[in-house]
């Protein structure tokens, strides 16, 4: 497979025109784009990286992600709107989230003393809700498909400027439909956020994501990884050792014992000792939040604007500039030749926005493979003590798993595969419209 080669602002994929590169992942580059035609809106386009175009395993993961996530309907899970292919390169179209990854919010919050506990808890409760919806995905027969995200981390949680939180990037998600895709000796996900059973290559279920959520909660509350070693191998060894981490209150005495208990239960080495479902974690967090700390989405939105609002303004300005410079452009033959010869990914930016130019060009350079975007360290957070929660009851694991029809990445039927997923997306949307009438 040849792939698209270099692409840039103004390049059109189907009915989507690329504007600004915003993120680079292990499998794909994510672009801010706009729909073409009478009704235009901003979307996110996830374009598979050229160097992976000949890898059948990665193509299958890309298709599996589209097949799975397109069936999840929840406000805390990013929605996949479309799937397409151009010059034998796959791309997904997702709803546009005007927000920042959680790891960026953490970094920027350092100068403000960290994230206040009420904000932190509301964000994490939305993460629980989104993951619970994913875990509860059912097949045509009504049985659970056994979906596990496998990569719950700050990089895969988006916090919007409207106060809403979205779980993103199900690229390494595992379900009954792709249970054979993990090779012996390989790991999928970020090792520092993996559960012991995941690192050992043992069977996993939704409780594997609960362990990852426990690591994230611990980091948010204390500023430290619960199993941090001198290197990644040592961190993995500590995760699988069965030795509990240092209790969070030893590091942050102001934490309530109830919040600490939630974190330590989520981090239990044995899956049977953890919470059974994300809904159970969510209810425990609700009970650990006093009435005076129950905040709204607008409170989160206000915190986002105060903490990282300048980043959102810069990104929106970059998108507006790209829209103006590419309006009416459908990638002329001359421009395609320019792109093929290695033209820059980033659009021209006004000289009055040096910080904006640096951000966009850094993403562009990473997308072209010249450098990797750095991952900042996690800062500590500002803790607000909370009173004891009410008691909660455990929730059972749920019914058996089912197998969804799997989309096979067959070289001679790729257009048919893409058309099938696209048709499924359209039918799902039509069903939603008819249901709500």
Model confidence pLDDT, tens digit, residues 317-340: 999 999 998 875 544 444 333 333
* Residue 247 to residue 244: CA distance in whole angstroms: 8
Residues 147 and 214 in one domain: yes
- Which sign, positive or negative, has the C-alpha torsion 195, 198, 202, 208? positive
pLDDT of res. 423? 61
Tens of pLDDT, residues 113-125:
889 999 999 999 9
Residues 314 and 190 in one domain: no
In a domain, 303, yes or no: no
Name the strands in the sheet holding 99-101, side by side, starting at the edge strand that comes first in the sequence.
99-101, 157-160, 165-167
Mean pLDDT estimate for the chain:
79
Residues 273 and 150 in one domain: yes
Tens of pLDDT, residues 43-76:
999 998 877 766 777 788 888 888 888 899 999 9
Residues 62 and 203 in one domain: no
* Residue 47 to residue 43: CA distance in whole angstroms: 13
pLDDT of res. 343? 36
Residue 362 pLDDT > 70, yes or no? no
Q: Which domain holds residue 72?
A: 12-98+310-342+349-360+410-436
User: Of residues 379 and 253, which shows the higher confidence score?
Assistant: 253
Question: Which CATH number covers residue 146?
Answer: 1.10.510.10
pLDDT of res. 51? 74
Enzyme catalytic residues: 151
Tell me the average pLDDT across 351-363: 44
Using a 10 angstrom Cβ sphere, with 0-12 exposed, 13-18 middle and 19 or more buried, the burial of residue 408 is exposed
In a domain, 187, yes or no: yes
* Residue 435 to residue 321: CA distance in whole angstroms: 39
Q: How many CB atoms lie within 10 A of CB 265?
A: 16
Which range has the top average pLDDT, 88-97, 122-131, 348-357, 412-421? 122-131
Tens of pLDDT, residues 82-101:
999 888 789 999 999 999 99
| Helices 206-222, 117-135: crossing angle, 10 deg rounding | 170
Q: What percent of the chain has pLDDT over 90?
A: 55
In a domain, 399, yes or no: no
Tell me the average pLDDT across 301-330: 90
* pTM to 2 decimal places: 0.76
* Residue 314 to residue 413: CA distance in whole angstroms: 42
Instruction: Give the count of domains, the chain.
Output: 2
pLDDT of res. 384? 41
Residue 2, C-beta contacts closer than 8 angstroms, at least 6 positions apart: 53, 87, 88
Residues 109 and 79 in one domain: no
| Of 56-65, 308-317, 417-426, minimum mean pLDDT range | 417-426
Residues 265 and 141 in one domain: yes
- Split at pLDDT 50, 70, 90, the class of 357 is very low
């Amino acid at each position: 497979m040849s792939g698209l080669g270099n692409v840039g602002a103004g390049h059109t994929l189907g009915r989507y025109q690329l504007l600004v590169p915003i993120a680079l992942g292990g499998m794909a580059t994510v672009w801010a784009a706009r729909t073409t035609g009478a009704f235009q809106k901003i979307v996110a386009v996830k374009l598979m990286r050229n160097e992976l175009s000949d890898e059948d395993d990665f193509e299958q993961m890309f298709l599996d992600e589209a097949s799975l996530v397109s069936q999840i309907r929840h406000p805390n899970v990013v929605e996949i709107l479309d799937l397409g292919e151009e010059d034998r390169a796959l791309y997904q179209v997702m709803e546009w989230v005007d927000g920042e990854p959680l790891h960026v919010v953490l970094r920027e919050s350092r100068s403000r003393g960290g994230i206040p506990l009420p904000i932190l808890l509301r964000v994490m409760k939305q993460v629980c809700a989104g993951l619970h919806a994913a875990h509860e995905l059912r097949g045509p027969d009504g049985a659970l498909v056994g979906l596990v995200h496998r990569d719950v981390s700050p990089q895969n949680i988006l916090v919007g400027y409207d106060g809403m939180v979205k779980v993103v990037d199900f690229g390494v998600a595992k379900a009954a439909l792709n249970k054979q895709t993990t090779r012996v000796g390989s790991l999928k996900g970020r090792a520092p956020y993996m559960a012991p059973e995941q690192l050992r290559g043992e069977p996993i279920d939704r409780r594997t994501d609960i362990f990852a959520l426990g690591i994230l909660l611990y980091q948010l509350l204390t500023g430290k990884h619960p199993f941090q070693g001198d290197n990644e191998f040592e961190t993995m060894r500590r995760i699988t050792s069965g030795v509990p981490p240092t209790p969070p209150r030893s590091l942050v005495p102001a934490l309530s014992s109830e919040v600490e208990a939630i974190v330590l239960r989520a981090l239990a080495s044995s899956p049977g000792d953890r919470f059974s479902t994300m809904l159970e974690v969510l209810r425990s967090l609700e009970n650990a939040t006093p009435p005076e700390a129950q905040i709204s989405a607008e409170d989160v939105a206000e915190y986002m604007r105060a903490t990282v609002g300048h980043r959102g303004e810069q990104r929106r300005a970059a998108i507006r500039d790209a829209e103006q410079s590419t309006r009416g452009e459908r990638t002329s033959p001359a421009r395609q030749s320019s792109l093929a010869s290695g033209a820059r990914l980033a659009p021209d930016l006004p000289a009055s926005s040096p910080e904006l130019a640096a951000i966009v060009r850094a993403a562009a350079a990473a997308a072209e493979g010249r450098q990797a975007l750095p991952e900042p360290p996690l800062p500590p957070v500002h803790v607000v003590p909370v009173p004891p929660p009410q008691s909660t009851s455990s929730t059972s694991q749920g019914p058996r798993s089912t197998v969804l029809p799997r989309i096979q990445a067959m070289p001679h039927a790729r257009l048919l595969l893409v058309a099938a997923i696209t048709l499924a997306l359209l039918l799902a949307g039509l069903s939603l419209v008819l249901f709500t009438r």
